[in-house]
Amino acid sequence: MELRYGTNPHQAARAAPVRPGRWPLRVVHGEPSYVNVLDALSAWQLVQQAARALDKPAAASFKHVSPAGAAVAGPVDDVVTSRSGVGPVAGAYLRARDADPKSSYGDFAAVSHPVDEELAEVLSGVVSDGIIAPGYEPGTLERLSRKKNGRFLILEADTAFVPPEREEREVFGLRLTQDRDWTPISAALLKNTGLPGAAVEDLVLGLVAVRFTQSNSVCYVRGGTTLGIGAGQQSRVDCTRLAGAKTATWWLRRHPVVRALTFRPEVRRQDRITWRIRFAEGDLMPGENRRLAESLAEPAGELTAEDRASWLAALDGVAFVSDGALPFRDNVDHARRHGVRYVAEPGGSVRSPEVEAACREHGITLVHTGLRLFHH
C-alpha cells in the first residue's frame, strides 16, 4: 500500500503486511500517511487492551505516536460537553479528548467498539484527522467521509488479527528483532488486595496507556480517564512534572470561575477551549489578556493564586502509573501535589526504599508490578 508520505512530506513511504495478505487494518476512506498508520496501530492496541481488561468501551486520542488522552466509558460532565445522555462509545472518546484538549487538536481517534451515529456526530464537530474502529454502523461512514472536505481518514481494525511472535525494525541499515510483548495487563498485576475497586480500574487503565506512550512516560488517572500523560522525556521527574501540570489544568478547568467564562458567538470552539486552558493556567501575557477580553461576551471573574491553590488542594484519589521504576522520591513528592493516592511502578530501583518511604510519608499506596513497559 502506497502511503500519502512518510514521517515528513518529502519522504516517500509504503506499508506491507509482514505475512502476505494478513493486514491488521483496512483503509475504508482516505489516504493514510506513515504517522497515521503508526498512530492507528498503537491507538487500536491501547483501546482493545483497555476494553478487554476493564470490560468497558475504551477510547484514545493520539498525537505524534503517543496518547494525548485515554478513557473508558463513564460520566461526562458539562466541561466535556453540553450534550445530555451521552452514550458509552461517544462518552469514552469525549472523556479521552478532554484529558488534554489542546494537544488533541488534530488528533487520531480510536475506539474499541463500532462507531455509532452519536460518535460520528461528535467527530464531525471537532478537529480530528482520522479514526480507527472495529466497525461502523449504517450511515456513519457517509457522514465521516465528508469531513475535512473528504480527507478524513477512516480505518477499520481486524479484531481477529494476531500479530507475529516477533517484531522487527530497520534503522540505518540495521535490522533489530525482538519478541513481542505478550504480557497481559489486568488487575492481577496489582497484588495489593486492599486497593479500592476504582483505584484498580484507574491503575489498569494507566498501565495500558503508558504501554503505548513514548518513554519515559507517566500517567495520572482518575475516574476511568487520564488527567495528564507525560511522554518522551529523558528525565522521569520532568515527565512527572509535565503530566502533573496537565492534571492541574484539567482540574482547574472545572473551577466555577473558569466554567463561567462566556464567549462571543463568533469565537470558535477550539479557541474557547484554548482560552479556558490559558485562563486556568493563570500566566496570561499582556497581549493574551487583551485578546481574551475581546473574545468574552462579559468580563471574566477573578481567579487568584490563592483560589487556584485552594481548588487544587481539593483534588484527591488520583492514581499514578510509571512505565519504568521510579529512580528517586522526587517523583512521589511531585505526584502527591496533584492528589495522588495510588502509585503503580515496576519497582527494583536501587532507590526503591526511598520511594517506598516517600509513599508512606504521603499516605500513598504503592504497588510494585514487576513489569517495565518501555515503548520506543
The CA distance from 50 to 44, in Å, is: 10
In this structure, what are the phi and psi dihedrals at residue 74, rounded to the nearest 5 degrees? 180, -175
For residue 290 the three cell numbers come to 487583551
Which string of DSSP letters, residue by residue, matches 70-90?
Answer: EEES----TTT-S-SS--HHH
Which string of DSSP letters, residue by residue, matches 260-272?
Answer: T--B-TTS-HHHH
In this structure, what are the phi and psi dihedrals at residue 191, rounded to the nearest 5 degrees? -70, -15
Q: Residue 354 contacts by C-beta under 8 Å, 6 or more apart in sequence?
A: 328, 329
From 195, 239, 196, select the one nearest 216 (Cα to Cα).
Answer: 239
Q: Do 106 and 127 form a contact (C-beta atoms < 8 A)?
A: yes
Residues known to be catalytic: 63-64, 216, 376
Place of cell 481574551: 292
Question: What's 144's DSSP letter?
Answer: H
The CA distance from 195 to 342, in Å, is: 8
Dihedral of the CA atoms 199, 200, 202, 208 (nearest 10)?
160
